[in-house]
């Protein structure tokens, strides 16, 4: 299990939202590029970049900033937000992204990324964002009716997606602790998981590690790192 620092970009700035609320954002002095370089310097093995403007609009609004970050770091980068077609996926891979995170489009028009799913097996991650286990899309402004267990099964069996980021929206940005019950539930589905939402500090990382789940490959951490509640270097040494 690795720690994956999040770099969330809104209006060209590095921010953290609370429960996905765009009106409840905390803006950090570090630019997105500075944040990425800082986490790399402190030992990050991978970065999670999110175009929050894109997640809402459906277009890659901050592609320039994201491509600059990819070019400036030498660790793997996963990119999500505003990716709605094969062309955008291809553009990010051509820019050097190691993984692409697809969310809303998988539920709204999966055919528009079918070619990418077939071509890039192992490099496409399905981002499933849950509010009380209901799937939220489009910047967490809409809900879909498909039960999340069925969605995971469909993406795995019909489209070959083996990697999932599971975000508990109610905990995201709240420093309220991770939802281990949800992680255990997804792990039983036989897919690789990256946990997201609620990490408040070292104790949460220890709780996740103690689950002893081989399929739990990483945990995305945002506010706990930015607010100094967790020391990335120290945690990496422990892992």
Catalytic residues: 8, 129
Q: In this structure, are residues 5 and 225 in contact, taking their beta carbons and an 8 Å threshold?
A: yes
For the chain, how far is it from start to end, CA to CA, in angstroms?
7
Residue 189 contacts residue 195 (beta carbons within 8 Å): no
Strands 134-137 and 124-131, how do they pair? Answer: antiparallel
Which residues are bridge partners to 16 per DSSP? 26
As a whole number of angstroms, the distance between CA 103 and CA 80 comes to 8
CA angle 57, 63, 64 (to 5 degrees): 135
CA-CA distance, 126 to 110, in Å (whole number)?
11
Q: Judge contact between 18 and 170, C-beta under 8 A.
A: no
Interior CA angle at 236 toward 233 and 239, to 5°? 155
Q: How many CB atoms lie within 10 A of CB 28?
A: 18
């Amino acid at each position: 299990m690795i720690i994956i620092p999040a770099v969330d970009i809104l209006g060209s700035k590095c921010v953290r939202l609370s429960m996905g609320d765009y009106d409840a954002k905390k803006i950090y002095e570090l630019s997105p590029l500075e944040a990425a370089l800082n986490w790399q310097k402190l030992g990050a093995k991978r970065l999670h970049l999110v175009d929050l403007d894109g997640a809402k609009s459906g277009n890659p609004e901050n592609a320039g900033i994201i491509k600059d970050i990819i070019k400036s770091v030498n660790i793997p980068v996963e990119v999500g937000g505003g990716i709605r077609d094969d062309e955008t996926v291809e553009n990010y891979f051509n820019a050097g992204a190691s993984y692409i995170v697809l969310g809303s489009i998988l539920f709204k028009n999966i055919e528009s990324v079918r070619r990418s799913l077939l071509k890039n097996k192992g490099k496409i991650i399905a981002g499933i964002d849950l509010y009380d286990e209901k799937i939220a899309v489009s910047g967490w402004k809409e809900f879909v009716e498909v039960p999340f267990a069925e969605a995971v099964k469909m993406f795995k069996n019909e489209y070959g997606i083996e990697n999932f980021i599971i975000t508990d929206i109610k905990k995201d940005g709240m420093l309220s602790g991770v939802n281990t019950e949800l992680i255990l539930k997804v792990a039983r589905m036989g897919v690789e998981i990256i946990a997201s939402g609620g990490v408040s500090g070292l104790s949460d990382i220890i709780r996740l590690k103690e689950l002893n789940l081989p399929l739990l490959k990483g945990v995305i951490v945002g506010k706990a790192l930015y607010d100094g509640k967790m020391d990335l270097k120290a945690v990496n040494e422990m892992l």
